[in-house]
Amino acid sequence: MFNRNIETEFKKWIKSPIRKPLIVRGARQVGKTSVIRKFGQENFKQTIEINLEKKDQLEVFDRSISIEDFLKRISIFFDKNAVPGNSLIFIDEIQESKNIMKLLRFFPEERPQLHVMAAGSLLEAKIDKSWSIPVGRVDYMHIYPMTFFEYLQARKKNALLESLKNIKPGDSLGLENLAIDLYKDYILIGGMPEVINSYINSGNYDEVKTILNRLHTAYIDDIRKYSRSNSENKYLEHVVEYGARAAGSLFKYENFYGSSYRSREMSQAFNTVEKVMLLRQVKAISSTILPIMPKPRRPKKMIWLDTGLVNFINNAYKEMITGEYKGKIMEQVVGQSLIAGGTHKQLDIYYWAKNRSEGSAEVDFCIQHGSRLAGIEVKSGNILKMRSLFSMGNFNKDIILIRISWDNLKVEKYRFAGNAYKVLSIPFYLTDRLPGLIDSLN
The identity of residue 356, as a single letter, is: R
Give the residue from 92, 188, 142 showing the smallest Cα distance to 280.
142
Q: What is the pLDDT of residue 418?
A: 87
What would the mean pLDDT of 178-206 be, rounded to a whole number?
A: 95
Given a cut of 80, is residue 317 above it in pLDDT? no
Given a cut of 90, is residue 281 above it in pLDDT? yes
pLDDT digits 0-9 by tens, 117-137: 999 877 767 666 566 666 678
Confidence of residue 344 (pLDDT cuts 50, 70, 90): confident
Whole-number Å distance between alpha carbons of 350 and 364: 8
Give the residue from 2, 14, 172 showing the smallest Cα distance to 88.
14
The identity of residue 398, as a single letter, is: D
CA 316 to chain centre: 22
Name the least confident of 131-140, 240-249, 273-282, 348-357.
131-140
- Entry pTM: 0.94
Confidence of residue 352 (pLDDT cuts 50, 70, 90): very high
The alpha-carbon radius of gyration of the chain (Å, integer) is 23
Given a cut of 80, is residue 65 above it in pLDDT? yes
Q: What is the pLDDT of residue 360?
A: 82
DSSP 78-111: HS----TTTEEEEEESGGG-HHHHHHHTTHHHH-
Please report, rounded to a whole number, the percentage of residues in the chain having pLDDT higher than 90: 77
Helix residue spans in 28-157 (DSSP H): 32-43, 55-61, 67-78, 98-104, 107-110, 123-126, 148-154
Given a cut of 60, is residue 382 above it in pLDDT? no
pLDDT digits 0-9 by tens, 95-114: 899 999 999 999 999 999 99
Q: What is the pLDDT of residue 384?
A: 58
Give the residue from 79, 99, 113, 92 showing the smallest Cα distance to 34.
92
Confidence of residue 380 (pLDDT cuts 50, 70, 90): low
Q: What is the pLDDT of residue 318?
A: 57
HEC per residue, 372-420:
EEEEEEECCCCHHHHHHHHHHHHHCCCCEEEEEECCCCEEEEEEECCEE
Q: What is the pLDDT of residue 324?
A: 78
Given a cut of 70, is residue 442 above it in pLDDT? no
pLDDT digits 0-9 by tens, 14-62: 999 889 999 999 999 999 999 999 999 999 999 999 999 999 999 999 9
Confidence of residue 385 (pLDDT cuts 50, 70, 90): confident
Q: What is the pLDDT of residue 127?
A: 66
Confidence of residue 143 (pLDDT cuts 50, 70, 90): very high
Given a cut of 90, is residue 230 above it in pLDDT? no
Q: What is the pLDDT of residue 321?
A: 60
Q: Which residues contact 69 (CB under 8 A, 6 or more apart)?
A: none
| Domains of the chain, first to last | 6-142 (3.40.50.300), 149-439 (no CATH)
What would the mean pLDDT of 132-159 be, rounded to a whole number?
A: 91
Dmax over Cα atoms in the chain, in whole Å? 77
